């Protein structure tokens, strides 16, 4: 089965790709949204419940992917539910990804405008972000995977390190009582982190590029657990510093970074965090952008995905400006329709495809290697 | 005013991609490129000229807000 591109990536690059698919925006938005619903037990929602959910998503997606080694999502959905159905699945994922990139870009722009450069028009950040990502996409999956390995491993460990620098302000009594109002609010608060963690379903797009498709499953589990660790740590530290007031910030992580003051010597590290996040979000957008473009090329049966990059970029840029009036509306949208929308493509569609594949005996041992 | 910038940007994109596609006779790619770009042109010009076009987010909200409400209502 022909791929759009001949690039190959290794297992550890694959793992970091999946970390990036979730982490950069999650680090910004998840603490406030989760703490608002779950209060002092938010770290259980964000760290434990969402991680189990992520493991479930990865299990479903990689079981589906392993039945059809080396094939793309559109090709095997075509085999499972017929050619037209495959195209429809492709079209839905393209829409989700393009819309998703518009949302990510808006989050990024709002973050920069709110926290650092209130005078600059937001579209400036959007144009630069999408232009950079477009150039990364045109260079192919290998370039993205290598750059991502460098940028995001750096981001991952320095975020942990930086957050631990606020140790002077930690007060773990803020985390008590655990499960104050039972498990209900914890699950309810977990919906947002769950939809974020479930974005690892994009492993379906990158699986065909792996040197050895058997490496996908362990790498994806590792990525989900790493995300669980860093997000739980972030929520715990936010709670320990701000208590439940953290829910009132749009970007508690940024407020946290500006709190850092070690011995009157290490201060104002939020600029450092900014540099990491800009790099991280650029990688996240590149990965989503790449997925949308190759998926589109595959759905339309094209030989080359590169001509689609710029027109898609125009659509993303326009949507990033017009979909939402402001950041509150965006956050509201996440709360009101986010969970079911994300579930529809992260879990429901892969599960349906998997069930159909098993029932119709498509893929698996006899047609695989 | 912005519409002029928009026209320049679209001309740039077309000049950047289209000649290569025509020279190598990649008609399918050209079709997809033109279709997408046309869509992009329509929505971006509408945005610049302050014309309301259907917003996909509203569509998502219409379809997925009721099930989300149902899901979260289990955990009140």
pLDDT tens-digit map of B49-72: 888 778 888 888 888 888 888 877
Q: What angle do CA A278, A281, A284 make, to 5 degrees?
A: 155
Residue with tokens 């510093």: A241
Name the residue facing A336 among B32, B44, B61 (closest C-beta): B61
Mean per-residue pLDDT, A232-245: 84
Kindly report, residue by residue over A52-106, the tens digit of the pLDDT: 888 999 998 888 888 888 788 888 888 888 888 888 888 899 999 998 899 889 8
Q: Is residue A369 predicted with pLDDT exceeding 50?
A: no
Taking only residues 39 to 58 of chain B, the set having a beta carbon closer than 8 angstroms to any beta carbon of chain A reads 39-41, 43-44, 47, 53, 55-57
Query: Do the chains contact at B72 and A339, CB–CB below 8 Å?
Result: yes
Q: How much is the mean pLDDT over chain A?
A: 83
Task: Record the pTM.
Answer: 0.89
Q: Does ipTM surpass 0.85 in this model?
A: yes
What is the structure's pLDDT at B76? 67
Kindly report, residue by residue over A264-322, the tens digit of the pLDDT: 777 777 788 788 888 889 999 999 999 999 888 888 888 888 888 888 888 888 888 88
List the single residue in B with minimal CA-CA distance to A316.
B40
* Cis peptide bond N-terminal to A177, omega within 30: yes
Query: Do the chains contact at A308 and B32, CB–CB below 8 Å?
Result: yes
What is the structure's pLDDT at A368? 44
- pLDDT > 70: what percent of chain A? 96
Residues contacting B68, CB < 8 A, separation 6+: A191, A336, A337, A338, A339, A340, A341
Domains of chain A: 11-359 (1.20.1740.10)
Kindly report which listed range (A144-153, A239-248, A310-319, A344-353) carries the lowest average pLDDT score: A239-248
Domain that includes residue B15, residue range:
2-73
Query: Do the chains contact at B29 and A304, CB–CB below 8 Å?
Result: yes
Q: Is residue A184 predicted with pLDDT exceeding 80?
A: no
Mean per-residue pLDDT, A104-110: 88
Q: How close does chain A come to B63, measured CA to CA in Å?
A: 8
What is the structure's pLDDT at A77? 83
Residue with tokens 């290998």: A142
User: How confident is residue B15, by pLDDT bands cut at 50, 70 and 90?
Assistant: confident
Residues contacting A127, CB < 8 A, separation 6+: A317
List the single residue in A with minimal CA-CA distance to B28.
A302
Q: How much is the mean pLDDT over chain B?
A: 83
- Bridge partners of A267, per DSSP, are A261
Q: How many domains does chain B have?
A: 1
Q: Which residues of chain B neighbour A341 with C-beta distances below 8 Å?
A: 60, 63-64, 68
What is the structure's pLDDT at A203? 87
Q: Which residues of chain A neighbour B72 with C-beta distances below 8 Å?
A: 188, 191, 339
């Amino acid at each position: 089965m022909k791929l759009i591109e001949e690039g190959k990536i290794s297992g550890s690059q694959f793992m970091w790709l999946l970390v990036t698919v979730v982490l950069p925006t999650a680090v910004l938005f998840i603490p406030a949204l989760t703490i608002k619903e779950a209060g002092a037990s938010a770290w259980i929602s964000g760290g434990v419940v969402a991680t189990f959910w992520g493991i479930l998503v990865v299990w479903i997606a990689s079981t589906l992917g392993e039945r059809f080694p080396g094939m793309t999502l559109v090709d095997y959905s075509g085999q499972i539910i017929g050619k037209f159905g495959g195209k429809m699945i492709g079209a839905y994922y393209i829409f989700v990804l393009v819309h998703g990139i518009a949302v990510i870009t808006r989050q990024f722009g709002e973050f920069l405008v709110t926290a650092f450069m209130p005078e600059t028009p937001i579209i400036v950040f959007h144009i630069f972000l999408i232009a950079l990502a477009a150039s990364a996409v045109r260079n192919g999956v290998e370039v993205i995977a290598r750059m991502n390995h460098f940028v995001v491993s750096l981001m991952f460990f320095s975020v942990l390190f930086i957050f631990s620098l606020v140790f002077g302000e930690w007060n773990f009594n803020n985390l008590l009582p655990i499960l104050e109002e039972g498990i209900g609010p914890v699950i309810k608060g977990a919906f947002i982190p769950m939809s974020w963690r479930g974005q690892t379903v994009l492993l379906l797009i990158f699986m065909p590029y792996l040197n050895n498709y058997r490496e996908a499953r362990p790498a994806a589990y590792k990525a989900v657990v790493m995300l669980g660790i860093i997000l739980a740590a972030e929520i715990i530290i936010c709670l320990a510093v701000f208590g439940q007031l953290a829910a009132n910030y749009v970007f508690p992580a940024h407020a946290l970074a500006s709190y850092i003051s070690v011995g009157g010597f290490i201060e104002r590290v939020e600029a450092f965090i900014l540099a990491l996040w800009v790099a991280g979000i650029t990688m996240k957008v590149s990965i989503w952008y790449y997925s949308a473009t190759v998926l589109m090329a595959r759905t339309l049966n094209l030989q080359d995905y590169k001509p689609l990059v710029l027109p898609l970029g125009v659509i993303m840029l326009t949507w990033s400006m017009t979909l939402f009036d402001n950041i509150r509306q965006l956050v509201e949208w996440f709360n009101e329709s986010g969970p079911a929308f994300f579930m529809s493509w992260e879990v429901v569609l892969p599960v349906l495809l998997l069930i159909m594949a098993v029932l119709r005996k498509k893929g698996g041992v006899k047609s695989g290697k | 005013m912005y519409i002029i910038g928009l026209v320049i940007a679209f001309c740039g994109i077309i000049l950047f991609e289209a000649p290569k596609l025509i020279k190598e006779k990649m008609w399918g790619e050209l079709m997809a490129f033109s279709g997408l770009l046309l869509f992009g042109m329509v929505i971006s010009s509408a945005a610049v000229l302050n014309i309301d076009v259907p917003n996909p987010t509203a569509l998502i909200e219409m379809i997925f807000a009721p099930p989300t409400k149902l899901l979260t209502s289990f955990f009140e």
